[in-house]
Chains A and B, each alone.
Chain A
Amino acid sequence: GAVVSQHPSRVICKSGTSVKIECRSLDFQATTMFWYRQFPKQSLMLMATSNEGSKATYEQGVEKDKFLINHASLTLSTLTVTSAHPEDSSFYICSAGRDGTGIEGGGYTDTQYFGPGTRLTVL
């Protein structure tokens, strides 16, 4: 269980075009999804948190008008890179949060499950 898919896996586009990436949780419902970006040899950087039915929360330095996020259902979130430029070329990874069970200390074992990633190349 806990499978997350992304589509497309790879996209090449011309500068100035917009690209949409889909993220789906296949076997569980996710009220919260996340979008990350990863440059070569670097760690994952959180771009935004997406909550179903509400506006996404963007991390500092991430342009919300450039990276449009929509979380229209409990199994689907989309990231649209608008007017893409070569510097937007990167590996984009989504994750979906699955509610866990209660644990000692009052927390819950909520866990993020990641998609396979989308390689975006802007020419």
Chain B
Amino acid sequence: LAKTTQPISMDSYEGQEVNITCSHNNIATNDYITWYQQFPSQGPRFIIQGYKTKVTNEVASLFIPADRKSSTLSLPRVSLSDTAVYYCLVGGNDYKLSFGAGTTVTVRA
């Protein structure tokens, strides 16, 4: 499984855009990138998934450069309810994922 590195924590204010970059230098050809959000005492929630370039959905965007050795999750106009731990995971078609420490995002008023 490809190892990922992401910042331990990030602080932001309501209404700002938050960008979390994840490094995955050993990503394999078949691997795709998935981001999850976790609130305390809840299971992780799927946010977004991508293989290359840019993916956007109703809650976030995922930017992946051509070499795929990193990816950036972009959360537009965050609110207090976006305070959570965000996990970047890289995996192939066997589902298996390895969770790192994640990034604790704290949004302040």
A residues in contact (CB < 8 Å) with B: 2, 4, 6, 32, 34, 36, 43-46, 49, 91, 93-95, 97, 100, 103-117, 119
Contact = CB atoms under 8 A, between A and B. Distances in A.
B101 A43 contact: yes
Interface string B13-53: 00000000000000001111010100001111110010110
Contacts of A46: 96-99
B54 to A, nearest CB: 14
Contacts of A104: 51-52
Interface in B53-94: 87, 91-94
Nearest to A30: B95
25 contacts: A32-B95, A34-B95, A36-B99, A43-B99, A44-B44, A44-B99, A46-B97, A46-B98, A49-B95, A93-B44, A105-B30, A105-B31, A106-B30, A107-B92, A107-B93, A108-B93, A109-B32, A109-B49, A109-B51, A110-B93, A110-B94, A111-B49, A111-B95, A112-B95, A112-B97
Interface range for B? 20 to 34
Contact of A116 (B42, B92, B97): B42
